[in-house]
């Protein structure tokens, strides 16, 4: 089933800083982004798909932070339901490090990857998130920064609806709200949503990542 995706007005993902380091057996890439969200627009759009979305304790949310962190499942609103009135209060629902995986996986390739546990901070009324990824060869061997694949940065919130008649069943994903456009463009032979921030792995070097290295799909 194709993803029901909508661009959300006022949602942006802006690069703050990043670095590449070489550890004993892997390359570590760290990133900090401003994950901006217009709370009023989020409430309006989520309610359009799930009326009273933030007021139901059995409804849930799942953030997507591809490139920076990997949320393992979803978070129900539970006792926060009816008391979420700011970006900060919304973020509290899904910001615990326990929600995020940090184990190695290979996805059937020779290169293994693991995400970092993210850190969330409010800067003023906006969210800032720090995380990243580590890369190593599945078979022991020297890895260099240029071996890292292209990294695509996603900032989106998945709206999940639960049903009162079956509250303990896994809630249904209704819509994904993100900063990128709904249309796809070709990036290196892969379809990527227009406006998605990304990094070309073969251009990586040890040290700080320059803002100019963070590209935008579909734009020069």
- pLDDT tens digits for range 123-135: 988 899 999 999 9
Longest dimension (CA), the chain: 55
For residues 142 and 182, give the distance between their C-alpha atoms in angstroms, rounded to a whole number.
39
Q: Is the pLDDT of residue 13 over 90?
A: yes
Between the two ends of the chain, the Cα-to-Cα distance in Å is 32
Read off the pLDDT of residues 178-201 as tens digits, 9 standing for 90 and up: 999 999 999 988 999 999 999 999
Q: Is the pLDDT of residue 86 over 70?
A: yes
Q: Which residues contact 8 (CB under 8 A, 6 or more apart)?
A: 37, 38, 41, 42, 45, 157, 177, 178, 179
The band of 1, judged by pLDDT with boundaries at 50, 70 and 90, is low
Written as six digits, the tokens of 47 are: 């309610």
How many H-runs (helices) and E-runs (strands) does the chain carry? 2, 16
pLDDT of residue 167: 72
The separation between CA 95 and the C-alpha centre of its own chain, rounded to angstroms, equals: 12
């Amino acid at each position: 089933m194709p993803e029901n995706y909508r661009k959300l007005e006022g949602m942006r993902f802006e690069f703050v800083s990043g670095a590449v380091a070489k550890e004993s057996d892997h390359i570590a890439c760290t990133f900090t982004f401003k994950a901006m969200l217009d709370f009023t627009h989020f409430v309006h759009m989520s309610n359009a798909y799930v009326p009273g979305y933030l007021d139901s304790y059995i409804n849930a949310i799942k953030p997507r932070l591809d490139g920076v962190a990997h949320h393992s499942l979803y978070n129900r609103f539970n006792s926060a339901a009816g008391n979420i009135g700011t970006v900060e209060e919304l973020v509290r629902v899904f910001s615990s490090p326990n929600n995020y995986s940090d184990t190695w996986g290979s996805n059937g390739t020779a290169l293994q990857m693991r995400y970092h546990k993210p850190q969330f901070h409010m800067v003023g009324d906006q969210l800032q998130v720090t995380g990243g990824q580590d890369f190593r060869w599945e078979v022991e061997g020297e890895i260099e920064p240029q071996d890292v694949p292209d990294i695509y940065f996603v900032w989106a919130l998945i709206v999940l609806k639960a049903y009162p008649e079956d509250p303990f069943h896994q809630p249904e994903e209704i819509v994904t709200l993100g900063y990128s456009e709904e249309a796809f463009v070709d990036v290196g032979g892969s379809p990527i949503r227009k406006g998605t921030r990304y990094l070309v792995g073969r251009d990586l070097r040890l040290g700080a990542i320059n803002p100019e290295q963070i590209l935008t799909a579909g734009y020069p």
